[in-house]
Structure 1
Amino acid sequence: MPVLTVFYIKLLINLALTIGIIWTISRSDLFSKWQRENDKLILTLGFVLFRLIPWIGIFLIVNEEPRGDIPFFFYKAEGAKAGGFVYRDFWSYHAPLYAYIISIPVWIWHNARAIVLFMVLMESAILWLTYDTYKSKSPKALQLAAIYYMLPAAFMYILVDGQEEVWFWGAALLIWRYTIKNRSNYEVGIGILYAMTLLTIKVTFIFLLPALLVMVKKPIKMLLVMAAIGLPAVGFLYWQIGDLFLMPIRHTEQLMTPNLFSVLRPFVEIVFHVDEKKSTLINWFGLLFTIFIPVYMAFKARHRHISEVLPGIFIAVFVCMMLFQASAMGAYVIAYLMAVLFEIIDIRKTFHVVVLLALDWLTVVQPFVWVYIKQPAYTSLGLFANTSYLFEYVLQILNVLCFLWILRETYRKVVHSQTLATA
């Protein structure tokens, strides 16, 4: 099926999902009743209607081939299944255990479609655990879970493209739930969970560590636990493959969109030219803000228990990553979209809903437009004489404004709010 046809179909699906979201928002009383009486049934129906049936339709009936990162995931899942050693026998830009985890469904069905289904199952497991965490705090938890299933960005990037970034929230959620159940002496448990996450998903999760160390009462104890797990793992990898295990860290040099740098680049280029082949310095500069802002927030909220602020700090970290890292791309919104919906968005407020829907539509539309017009780098204002470039640039600006709004609301929630209560 032609790429442009697929995009038009995505737009129609987005429209249908948006109508479903608006209907769901209008039926708060009904969902509150279902939350008290039939929550498991509604969650199951949500999974079947918005994940399982579409997966069957797309990949079994229409027989579409998986897109996005799935072909690369399948390549390394095959390598892991064949007994290969990660980084040495096959490329991987994820943590060392990731390829072996996504090879599990390939053992059952040797097809890339199996990995997409696995991603869908993982996403739904994280959503169910998120709902279980929030249902005692909010009568709208089931309604929010239903809305999440219909969010265009989640639908497209996980169901269609099989993105795994939602696993970040899954890992943070496990840590958060541990701190809720263990009000003190939680450092050992957090250290174990954090170290296992770094070995399982992506090194990007390390961005959360500095702020987390500010939040915990005994940071040295936590670091020692992490070192007890991480250092032997790193030592084993170095013994087997030398410095090839640094492959994930090296995958950070390509300039992507949308982020502050991509939006400001036409003005930056007026002052000095940016060499895209030597863009690592830009990411290091962005890294300072990615770490500093969440750390500052954690410091300002240090009088509160970690369980009260951890979701907000997590959101802040990955919003800052998308804002300040020049290599960040739109798909990364999946990392914190679920957390934003449950933690920040108030569906009683029209502007909150508008921002949520705008972010989702932009996340689907902007990357396609950027790729379709050959991934332009806006190195001068004169490029905007091209209407297509100007349109895509405006989409980037709107995206960045959504990120900034989420960061502002998260800051208010973490620093100024005195309770964890949700709407």
Structure 2
Amino acid sequence: MFVVVAKTIIALLCTLVVGGLVWYRTSILPWLQRQNPRLVLLGAWMVARILPFVLIFIVLDFTPFSDLDGFFNQAKEAVQLKTVYRDFYCMYSPFFPYINGLALWFWLDKKAIILLMILIEGLTLWTTNRFYEPVVNAHERLYRSLIYLFLPGALVLCVFGGQEDEWMWLALIATYLLWQRTRQVALVGVGLVIGFLLTKAVFILVGPALLLLIPKPLKWLSAAVIFGLLCLGVLYHYTEWEWLEQPLHEAATLRAPNWLSVLNPLTFDVLGAGAKAWNWIGLLLTTGIGALTAYRLRNLDFRLSFSAAFVMIFGTMMVAQQSAYSNYIFIFLLPLTFIWVDFANRREVVWFLIFNALSIVQPSLWWRLKSPYYRVPSDVWAQPLYLLDYALQIGVVICTFYFLRMVWQKSLRLV
């Protein structure tokens, strides 16, 4: 339980830092206007990412674990140029272990993968600033970047967990920026396929929303189909159907928290947790809400409409899919921070910080309790730590619904 306590302490410290940034907002914003934004952002990134990495993994020689074990083992296979899915198991997209393998060429240690994740997150933050240039002024973007860097969810999931979930956001906004620069909409389709090959299968959940937000859908969709079929043909040649079956196996794994994990014990397992039907219902709900959001906001600037749709899609997925857990906050934390949270509104800030803290403490506790899944009420109060875990699950689900409702309401006011 040392790790749970450590993450709780870090969450509290990060909350204090972000609280200070919010409390002195009116003083910090004018100061930021007088500074070199690149130097401030680089300095904050070094303090919030490189310094913790050095202290935790170099000075204290802490050994990463959890998802990093899987990432490392797959990357070692990739370094040996073995074929993904055929020669080794992988629940992620086909290029993912090979990207991680690049880090192992320089340093054969799990810590190298965390450093790679830190660097890619830094690239994602920089690209996010470029993406929002037309809709958020420079000092406000810099201020929100500082808040993001010290958020408990961002710092812990990146530096401790080495999570890759933000890669999906990076792939999508980088594709958009490339399209805007070249004016070749077909690149959107190619970029989507590349994003799918780099990240996770859930990347495709944004597809229906993009059909409503990006013009000339037939042109870029046809490019995606042609390039996608070519890539799938190569995958099938080398792995047959393993490229599909192994990632889909991940969707069958029961995790928490989500609406089913919270309600299941209250209904004495009548809901039938684990049934494939819930996967399909969650999938339809997630894509449906994303498409509805995109349709309602289709006349807004793409950066705003897409930011809303992206948060609605993956926020819904976080509570609708029975294989979802609270690490998924990392998928949509950047657009939520940059656009939708009003840091002059103390109520929203409090909710936001609670959401972040719960989302890093709950999964750590849940894993150390051997991933319990509660079937009946007596399972919950079987021991005090189960009761604590269940309370944290409820908190995460409530916070997720709060921000889904907030983004929906705020986005509709912009129409």
Shift of 1:305: 4.5
In the other structure, the counterpart of 1:251 is 250
291 and 10 in structure 1: CA distance in 2 versus 1, 3 angstrom threshold: same
Residue identity matched to 1:264: L
1:79-158 to structure 2, matched below 5 A, reads 79-135=77-133, 137-138=136-137, 139-158=139-158
Q: How many angstroms apart in 1 are the aligned matches of 2:33 and 2:73?
A: 41
Q: Which moved more, 1:190-199 or 1:210-219?
A: 210-219
Shift of 1:215: 1.9
Shift of 1:301: 2.0
Shift of 1:180: 5.6
In the other structure, the counterpart of 1:407 is 404
> Is it true that 1:354 corresponds to 2:354 in the alignment?
no
Shift of 1:130: 1.5
Q: How many angstroms apart in 2 are the aligned matches of 1:338 and 1:273?
A: 34
Contact 2:32–2:143, Cα closer than 8 Å, also in 1: no
- Secondary structure at the counterpart of residue 251 of structure 2: coil
Contact 2:172–2:195, Cα closer than 8 Å, also in 1: no
State the Cα deviation string for residues 166-205 of structure 1 (Å, max 9, x = none): 11111222244356657xx663121121111011111110
Contact 2:209–2:291, Cα closer than 8 Å, also in 1: yes
In the other structure, the counterpart of 1:56 is 54
Residue identity matched to 1:194: L
Residue identity matched to 2:392: L
Contact 1:32–1:140, Cα closer than 8 Å, also in 2: no
Shift of 1:90: 1.4
Shift of 1:57: 1.1
Shift of 1:36: 4.5
Shift of 1:216: 2.4
In the other structure, the counterpart of 1:220 is 218
Shift of 1:385: 3.8
1:387-402 to structure 2, matched below 5 A, reads 387-402=384-399
Q: Which moved more, 1:18-27 or 1:370-379?
A: 370-379
In the other structure, the counterpart of 1:161 is 161
> Is it true that 1:327 corresponds to 2:318 in the alignment?
no
Runs of 4+ in 1 over 4 A off after TM superposition: 178-182
- Secondary structure at the counterpart of residue 264 of structure 2: helix
Q: How many angstroms apart in 2 are the aligned matches of 1:304 and 1:13?
A: 38
In the other structure, the counterpart of 2:233 is 235
Residue identity matched to 1:337: L
Shift of 1:376: 2.6
> Is it true that 1:290 corresponds to 2:286 in the alignment?
yes
317 and 100 in structure 1: CA distance in 2 versus 1, 3 angstrom threshold: same
Within the candidate set 16, 36, 39, 1:38 is matched to 36
In the other structure, the counterpart of 1:421 is none
In the other structure, the counterpart of 1:381 is 377
Q: Which moved more, 1:186-195 or 1:149-158?
A: 186-195
Stretches of structure 1 that go unaligned for 5 or more consecutive residues are 419-423
Q: Which moved more, 1:359-368 or 1:30-39?
A: 30-39
Percent identity over the alignment is 30
Q: How many angstroms apart in 2 are the aligned matches of 1:145 and 1:335?
A: 16
74 and 371 in structure 1: CA distance in 2 versus 1, 3 angstrom threshold: closer
- Secondary structure at the counterpart of residue 363 of structure 1: helix
Contact 2:293–2:308, Cα closer than 8 Å, also in 1: no
36 and 132 in structure 1: CA distance in 2 versus 1, 3 angstrom threshold: farther
Shift of 1:275: 5.8
Shift of 1:384: 4.1
Residue identity matched to 2:163: Q
Q: How many angstroms apart in 2 are the aligned matches of 1:24 and 1:391?
A: 30
Contact 1:135–1:142, Cα closer than 8 Å, also in 2: no
Contact 2:260–2:273, Cα closer than 8 Å, also in 1: no
Q: Which moved more, 1:241-250 or 1:378-387?
A: 378-387
Stretches of structure 2 that go unaligned for 5 or more consecutive residues are none
Within the candidate set 9, 14, 35, 2:6 is matched to 9
TM-score by length of 2: 0.93
TM-score by length of 1: 0.91
Q: How many angstroms apart in 2 are the aligned matches of 1:328 and 1:281?
A: 15
Contact 1:94–1:202, Cα closer than 8 Å, also in 2: yes
Shift of 1:273: 5.8
234 and 25 in structure 1: CA distance in 2 versus 1, 3 angstrom threshold: same
Contact 2:96–2:199, Cα closer than 8 Å, also in 1: yes
State the Cα deviation string for residues 289-333 of structure 1 (Å, max 9, x = none): 111111111122233343441111111110011011010011111
RMSD: 1.9
In the other structure, the counterpart of 2:74 is 76
273 and 195 in structure 1: CA distance in 2 versus 1, 3 angstrom threshold: closer
State the number of aligned residues: 410
Shift of 1:35: 4.2
